[in-house]
A and B are shown apart, each in its own frame.
Chain A
């Protein structure tokens, strides 16, 4: 049996950097394209509202999809009271996010989360704690969450985090450039951040809750991709409105348009507010429907979430035992 079953790929293969997929080098800022972008809010909301009723997975499919969702989580701690101990615990959870007996019962291989996401000061601790796991460390950067520290310092911050071992940098854009329609400034800023990242992949956090309109979200998405973002990400988790389905639909349609024009696949990361297993399944079907199966892998899709994992663990146990689970039956971070 094992002879004809393909070898279980080690989780590291799914992780960045991927050699087979070309990185986004960006392109010249195309203001005509930016100006042409339309986003009809009511229509986007209708699609977002009906999608959960159009797609669903049940039984083994649901379990498998939820396990997949775990591999896409950027397990995150971004709190003022983070300590090295706290981060090490998080990293331990990242290595074994689900009880081994549950995975065994489901016939699933050992899995890890997609990445661990921390502030710069915690990067070295996280890198050390994750050594050998293949799990990348992502650092939020550039004056996260407001992005209003001096520009030079924001660039420096990226460089420090990369030096400290971060493989992914989650930058925040200057919302004011979007709100004033200064696309050139947004493009230049993103270009500089991208350059500072070097080999590290860059996720552009748009803070969509502060951009005012879906049209702005669509245009900002496009400009960041033109400037070389590897991922676009909704939110810092600190805005009053974080990832929503309409915002997600708007951003992934921009990703689709960018791919159609350049052939380059850009990753997507919704962050904040996704805490239920059911929500995760809706997001996965959204990605599958609008972009395709490539976006169900960690090199092109991540959940920025901290409490989602717990709910998925309970659902997986329910799937195995047939009885509803309790949070304390699953190891905490």
Chain B
């Protein structure tokens, strides 16, 4: 077009960012790349092509990491770990600072390389991915500096295996490597096979920063390489970001291996628009929610929920906005959407849409590039919550929509999902926003904004969107463990039946305690409980999976407990302590009978139990959230929320104190508990229900099911309505429990070591952290 014609038509023209420098870099270091192991690049092995999805052109050859490659990387990381972990905080901080600076210095090279490899618009890699990655290293340089001062009594975990996705290759690398290094760990990281290049460039940056050899190792390859890292005996922690299906497999594969695990998985995040919202801004927000990065975003606002009265107008205006989106060459600085990462992704999205039979499909009337892996912005209105497209993650530029009538219904529809990563709420009504945000099942909630991220603000999911947080102190703590020494849990067997049983003077039957009522075991079986001296102390009910079902149902039903004020929960805990104190003599006698311990020992356990209840009564209203210092005008609230329903397998040692040490922190934070008491000494726990009954504890908040820990634990682990499983019990198959937990990806805290329950290690923040999840609520403000 001539200048004259442009003057008349006022069209946009091409505005390409040059790929020359990035292609030069590939040419100089490739085109066949090896791994980055022990501070140097290895020779390329067996390779596969990595392509520019916008053109299909091959960019480079990437090595498929073998088990030997992973061994070498883990060995290098293992060797580097002791020295790296012992460095002063300041020394580690300096390295992280250098990495941040280098990311800044090479920002454009990283951005162009990312766009070439991934297909995302250069604007996004330049203005979003790179600044956030830099910010992550800067922030974590600070966390490294302050680690010992702010988190005393903690130590790094060791070698961290990290597997990251292709949608934000460098940014996810930053989210993984920065906290691991700041905490003092070493890493073996595998980028996604579609997008390895920026990770390899990062290896070069590590050299430039003078990072000690072996602290960061990058091994490329596909899922097989990832599996080798995940299952490697030398990795102490696995951090994974990717699909829920792969996350579930990782949970199963690592079951029983004693690795810490954090998973950031898929989502189908609701985007709720109330009728009093700034509609134009809410529509613009959708551009950032679902057409950002071609919709290939785990926390994409992909489920649009609009209040019914404004839905018609909203959809019309949304369609008009969609018509303005520009799809094209990702290196063009004037486009909104680039290419999907790979033809495989294109086929998957196309197939999902083809299978849809509901609603009205609107494809944005925009010019589409010829060739390349492009998909048009798409809106599907009029879907019911039951439609597969409303339930399944599409991971593409496809927005699905439905309507709601009331705030309550909005929450119901929003939470009607297996996922729980993020949610967006648009309303100009502060009361409504602040009421809705905590009710949404999501790790992140954005009010009148969407897809805001920052290194200081924790990010992560609930439900099948995974567990663990990245960012801020919460993210750092996922790479640390208490340095206190603990003892291996030993199984304690019940006392055997004597040859000549001694019957009690009056029969007392301990029942199960479900929903605030004593319940006979469903199976109708009981087992005698003998004292050390062969006295029959009573019978315990043998609970089965149906009792677990009933208990979980009761616990789920007691949701009012989470809404009770922290002050009220504290009062109940103090009241339990008061009532336990009133019956201290009876409980210590019970402990002596059950365990054969001495009178002073029994009295000490009761005393400590009362003190423990006081501790958690105290904590109930003091486990504060914080305001993360994200660079916005507004607040990012990192709130502590209860997990929901926790299944707890109580320790055998200290049958009263151990049980209360799990139950008290859980309920103090607003959770409901299904506790399985010690099989050896169950009656100390069942005696408790009379105390609970008289302490104003609502029915269903604490449920006690006696029986075989493995069988009941297994039922809890597999139960889809249980949010977390804790175990301090001995002699059980951890692998089986953790594998079963993969069903709904519940958080597990299955311990092989035990604290000394009578000491300080038996209570406190460590338990409260396990009893809560962080929800980050972003509230930009300004008038």
- Do chains A and B interact in one complex? yes
| Chain A residues in the interface with B (C-beta under 8 A) | 38-47, 50, 53-61, 63-65, 67-68, 106-109, 213-215, 253, 256, 284, 288-289, 293, 296
Closest Cβ of chain A to B153, distance in Å, is 40
Give A60 to B324 CA distance when docked, in angstroms.
22
Interface stretch, picked from B7-15, B248-256, B295-303, B493-501, is B7-15
Residue of B nearest to A215 (CB): B783
| Chain B residues in the interface with A (C-beta under 8 A) | 1-4, 6-7, 9-15, 123, 126-127, 276-282, 284-285, 324, 333-334, 336, 428, 448-449, 632-634, 780-783
- Decide if A43 touches B334 in the complex (CB within 8 Å): no
> Contacts A40-B278, A42-B634, A57-B13: A65 and B783 contacting too (C-beta < 8 A)?
no
- With most chain B CB atoms within 10 A of its CB, the pick from A57, A106, A214, A253 is A57
Hey, which chain A residues are within 8 Å of B1, CB to CB?
60
Residue of B nearest to A216 (CB): B783
Give A54 to B448 CA distance when docked, in angstroms.
21
> Contacts A61-B12, A64-B6, A106-B3: A44 and B123 contacting too (C-beta < 8 A)?
no
Give A139 to B285 CA distance when docked, in angstroms.
40
Hey, which chain A residues are within 8 Å of B276, CB to CB?
38
Closest Cβ of chain A to B498, distance in Å, is 74
Give A41 to B449 CA distance when docked, in angstroms.
11
Hey, which chain A residues are within 8 Å of B324, CB to CB?
289
- Decide if B10 touches A58 in the complex (CB within 8 Å): no
Give A256 to B4 CA distance when docked, in angstroms.
29
Hey, which chain B residues are within 8 Å of A50, CB to CB?
127
> Contacts A38-B278, A60-B1, A107-B4: A68 and B10 contacting too (C-beta < 8 A)?
yes
Hey, which chain A residues are within 8 Å of B782, CB to CB?
41-42, 45
Given contacts A39-B281, A46-B284, A58-B14, 10 further A-B contacts (CB under 8 A): A38-B277, A38-B279, A42-B634, A57-B334, A59-B13, A61-B6, A61-B11, A68-B10, A108-B4, A253-B280
- Decide if A54 touches B783 in the complex (CB within 8 Å): no
Hey, which chain A residues are within 8 Å of B279, CB to CB?
38
Closest Cβ of chain B to A214, distance in Å, is 7
Closest Cβ of chain B to A70, distance in Å, is 10
Closest Cβ of chain A to B632, distance in Å, is 8
Residue of B nearest to A285 (CB): B12
Residue of A nearest to B452 (CB): A46
> Contacts A40-B278, A40-B448: A293 and B781 contacting too (C-beta < 8 A)?
no
- Decide if A57 touches B780 in the complex (CB within 8 Å): no
Hey, which chain B residues are within 8 Å of A293, CB to CB?
9-10
Q: Which of B13, B281, B336, B783 contacts A58 (CB 8 A)?
A: B13
> Contacts A43-B448, A288-B10: A108 and B3 contacting too (C-beta < 8 A)?
yes
> Contacts A42-B633, A43-B278: A58 and B448 contacting too (C-beta < 8 A)?
no
- Decide if A56 touches B6 in the complex (CB within 8 Å): no
- Decide if A60 touches B278 in the complex (CB within 8 Å): no
Give A256 to B334 CA distance when docked, in angstroms.
23
Give A53 to B17 CA distance when docked, in angstroms.
13
Hey, which chain A residues are within 8 Å of B428, CB to CB?
38, 40
* A-B contact list, 17 entries, CB within 8 Å: A38-B277, A41-B783, A43-B281, A46-B284, A53-B126, A55-B12, A56-B334, A57-B12, A57-B13, A57-B15, A57-B334, A58-B13, A60-B2, A64-B7, A65-B10, A108-B7, A284-B10
Residue of B nearest to A252 (CB): B280
- Decide if B127 touches A53 in the complex (CB within 8 Å): yes
Closest Cβ of chain B to A225, distance in Å, is 16
- Decide if B13 touches A296 in the complex (CB within 8 Å): no
Give A64 to B11 CA distance when docked, in angstroms.
10
- Decide if B15 touches A58 in the complex (CB within 8 Å): yes
Give A68 to B2 CA distance when docked, in angstroms.
14
Closest Cβ of chain A to B290, distance in Å, is 16
Closest Cβ of chain B to A282, distance in Å, is 12
Hey, which chain A residues are within 8 Å of B449, CB to CB?
42-43, 46
Give A249 to B660 CA distance when docked, in angstroms.
59
Closest Cβ of chain B to A132, distance in Å, is 23
Give A289 to B325 CA distance when docked, in angstroms.
9
Q: Which of A47, A60, A213, A215 contacts B284 (CB 8 A)?
A: A47
Closest Cβ of chain B to A61, distance in Å, is 4
Give A3 to B426 CA distance when docked, in angstroms.
56
Give A288 to B324 CA distance when docked, in angstroms.
9
Hey, which chain A residues are within 8 Å of B333, CB to CB?
53, 56
Residue of A nearest to B282 (CB): A43
Q: Which of A39, A60, A213, A288 contacts B3 (CB 8 A)?
A: A60
Closest Cβ of chain A to B15, distance in Å, is 5
- With most chain A CB atoms within 10 A of its CB, the pick from B4, B6, B7, B12 is B7
> Contacts A41-B782, A43-B780, A58-B15: A53 and B6 contacting too (C-beta < 8 A)?
no
Q: Which 7 A-B pairs have the closest CB atoms?
A: A43-B281, A61-B13, A64-B6, A42-B780, A40-B278, A38-B278, A64-B7
Hey, which chain B residues are within 8 Å of A296, CB to CB?
10
> Contacts A56-B333, A68-B10, A215-B783: A107 and B2 contacting too (C-beta < 8 A)?
yes
Give A9 to B285 CA distance when docked, in angstroms.
40
Closest Cβ of chain B to A139, distance in Å, is 29
Hey, which chain A residues are within 8 Å of B9, CB to CB?
293
- Decide if B633 touches A107 in the complex (CB within 8 Å): no
Give A288 to B11 CA distance when docked, in angstroms.
9
> Contacts A47-B284, A108-B4: A60 and B13 contacting too (C-beta < 8 A)?
yes
Closest Cβ of chain A to B122, distance in Å, is 10
Give A53 to B124 CA distance when docked, in angstroms.
9
- Decide if B7 touches A44 in the complex (CB within 8 Å): no
- With most chain A CB atoms within 10 A of its CB, the pick from B123, B280, B284, B782 is B280
Closest Cβ of chain B to A293, distance in Å, is 6
Give A214 to B781 CA distance when docked, in angstroms.
13
Give A53 to B130 CA distance when docked, in angstroms.
14
Hey, which chain A residues are within 8 Å of B280, CB to CB?
253, 256
- Decide if A65 touches B2 in the complex (CB within 8 Å): no
Hey, which chain A residues are within 8 Å of B282, CB to CB?
43
Hey, which chain A residues are within 8 Å of B13, CB to CB?
57-61
Closest Cβ of chain A to B7, distance in Å, is 4
Hey, which chain A residues are within 8 Å of B632, CB to CB?
42
Closest Cβ of chain B to A284, distance in Å, is 8
Give A213 to B428 CA distance when docked, in angstroms.
14
> Contacts A47-B284, A67-B7: A56 and B15 contacting too (C-beta < 8 A)?
yes
Closest Cβ of chain A to B598, distance in Å, is 65
Residue of A nearest to B279 (CB): A38
Closest Cβ of chain A to B247, distance in Å, is 31
Give A284 to B11 CA distance when docked, in angstroms.
11
> Contacts A39-B278, A42-B448: A64 and B3 contacting too (C-beta < 8 A)?
yes
Give A45 to B780 CA distance when docked, in angstroms.
11
- Decide if A47 touches B281 in the complex (CB within 8 Å): yes
Hey, which chain B residues are within 8 Å of A42, CB to CB?
448-449, 632-634, 780-782
Hey, which chain B residues are within 8 Å of A59, CB to CB?
13
Residue of B nearest to A50 (CB): B127
